[in-house]
Structure 1
Amino acid sequence: MTAPATAAAAAAAAAAAASTLTYVYAVTGPAPALDDLLPGLAGVAGSPVTLLVPPTGAAAPVAFVISDVSRSEWTEDVLRERFEDVRWLEETARAHHHVIETLAAHTTVLPLRLATLYQDHARALQALEQQGPDFAAQLARLGGHTEYGVKVYVRPAAPPTGTPAPVPASPGKAYLQARRARHDAREDHYRQAQLAADRIAGIAREYTAQHVRHPAQSGPLTAPADGENVLNDAFLVPDAQAEAFRAAVGSVAEDLPGIRLELTGPWAPYSFAAAPPADPAP
């Protein structure tokens, strides 16, 4: 290749790099299965997924799982608007999650949050090299473990039933009696929820390696039929204990009709991953 052609190719590569940001999904270690897996994997906005590996001789054998995304589509101003777009957010989160779960089926991964961005590969590599030993330690801690979620919902108090009083009550008195009955039923459901939480804590001590308590869910994403979410916990479970853990959690609410229990997973260990080092990228 002639010198002008070489210079032109270098300029084109520089222009392409300047037009993109580096989107990071997760940290992972060496895994031969990824060589065949990544070429057919699409990430956010349909972008190809690749590995960003530090130079030979780095402190720890870890890599970023990345995509190159259009800089104009991921600026701070654009993201601020798009995070208000439920449809875009759902599609992007689904693509992000798909990449991580596909990787997790073949190797240990340290998931990173949605829209973890670096200015370019060089900045991402710098962060990877600086945090390499810490990332490697976290991957070693998570190896052979899977995340499960446990949620407890208090069911709405049903209208009171039973034999009516022999003497009809006045409308005002009947209203107060019904209100009191609903209040008593709701308090009983809360007591059942506390009992369920105590049982889950006991199961966690026996079967899990780590526990994270997330805020209870509320708002439009929680359907009214679910009742009130009062417990939203994540557990890091050794794979050897997963079956016993699921069975134990599944029996928690068998005698507690006032609550609903939801067990989710297995998941990649989102709740047990540390935040990546900061970068001034949008």
Structure 2
Amino acid sequence: MTGLRYVYAVCRPLGAPLQAQLTGVAGAPAKLLNHHGLVAVVSEVPERDFSEEALRARLEDLDWLAATARAHQGVIDALTVVTTPLPLRLATVFRDDSGVRAMIESREEHFRAALDRLAGRVEWGVKVYLESGPEESGARQPAPKAASGRDYLRQRRQQTRAHEDQWQRAETFATRLHERLSAFAEDSRLHAPQNPTLSGAAGRNVLNAAYLVPRAHSEEFVELVDRTKDDAPGLRVELTGPWAAYSFAGDTAGETSGGTAGESGAGETAGETAGERA
């Protein structure tokens, strides 16, 4: 290798080979760098695009960022099929192999503990959307023309109460669903609701959560989520996964983010950038 080293994840030695011809960021093949009984999954990327200065400009290019995130996620998905990867931050780049090895040594204890904790487990995402929010309801069912100012105010109060009741029912459903899924899963994380402008998802996001589930119990988890959908009129329940356990990797993404030359971090997590794993 003569270019910079882009690091996707750290994992244990693989029990099965990677997919043949697996390519990652910049179309480069993914390779394995073994060190101290751990494996960094890396590929070579051009300095012109991934130097510290170039990355600052590239990360403002949303098309480039999305394409890079998809390629990054593709490698993580392939790893998840054959092992338990510990994903690193998008655009974690080092000058050479020695920089990657130094990163492994500096975080070796944390890597081993996290890999032990996450072994055989995957992440499932569950989102709940209120499909008929205030704006949508008003657009579909325009209020009759008020005969007077008093009638107009009465109609507005009725609409407000209806919207508040609708939102309260949605929050109650989401809370109960999260409690039920959390009781089944080994761990869970509540994320901030998605911004519909950024996500492109229809409706108002009421629940955005991740659940850590043993791979062997994934089918039961999926069935549990499916059974709840009939109990949610006016709501949309979305299930995504299984993913590598991004939400449960602790501080791995933040503290292992490398950078060219100075090993400084850049970018968001690949899972968040790639459509928040939707």
TM normalised by structure 1 equals: 0.81
Aligned counterpart for 1:195 among listed residues 172, 177, 197:
172
Which runs of 5 or more structure 1 residues have no equivalent in the other structure?
1-15
Max Rg structure: 1
Shift of 1:115: 0.5
Aligned residue for 1:53? 34
% identity of equivalent residues: 42
Shift of 1:27: 0.7
Q: 1:255 to 1:175 in 2, by over 3 A?
A: farther
Structure with greater contact order relative to length (CA < 8 Å, sep ≥ 6): 2
Aligned length: 254
1:180 aligns with 2:157: yes
Shift of 1:169: 4.4
Q: Could you say what the CA RMSD is over the residues aligned between the two structures, in angstroms?
A: 2.5
SS of equivalent to 1:77 = helix
Shift of 1:84: 2.1
Contact 2:129 2:237 in 1 (8 A): yes
Partner deviation per Cα, 1:127-186 (whole Å, 9 max, x = no partner): 112322321221121112110111122231324969x8xxx8415344334432332222
- In the alignment, the residues of structure 1 paired with residue 126 and residue 256 of structure 2 have an alpha-carbon distance, to the nearest angstrom, of 29
Bigger mean CA offset, 44-53 vs 152-161: 152-161
Aligned residue for 1:281? 263
- In the alignment, the residues of structure 2 paired with residue 86 and residue 171 of structure 1 have an alpha-carbon distance, to the nearest angstrom, of 50
Q: 1:100 to 1:259 in 2, by over 3 A?
A: same
SS of equivalent to 2:222 = helix
Shift of 1:278: 5.1
Which runs of 5 or more structure 2 residues have no equivalent in the other structure?
265-278
Aligned residue for 2:106? 130
Aligned residue for 2:11? 28
Q: 1:178 to 1:39 in 2, by over 3 A?
A: same
Q: 1:99 to 1:134 in 2, by over 3 A?
A: same
Aligned residue for 2:55? 79
SS of equivalent to 2:57 = helix
Partner deviation per Cα, 1:18-77 (whole Å, 9 max, x = no partner): xx221100011112412xx255111101012111111xxx3xx21100011111211233
Partner deviation per Cα, 1:258-277 (whole Å, 9 max, x = no partner): 33221111111111222243
Shift of 1:244: 2.2
> Moved runs in structure 1, 4+ residues, more than 4 A?
none
1:209 aligns with 2:211: no
TM normalised by structure 2 equals: 0.82
Aligned counterpart for 2:197 among listed residues 198, 205, 220:
220
1:111 aligns with 2:87: yes
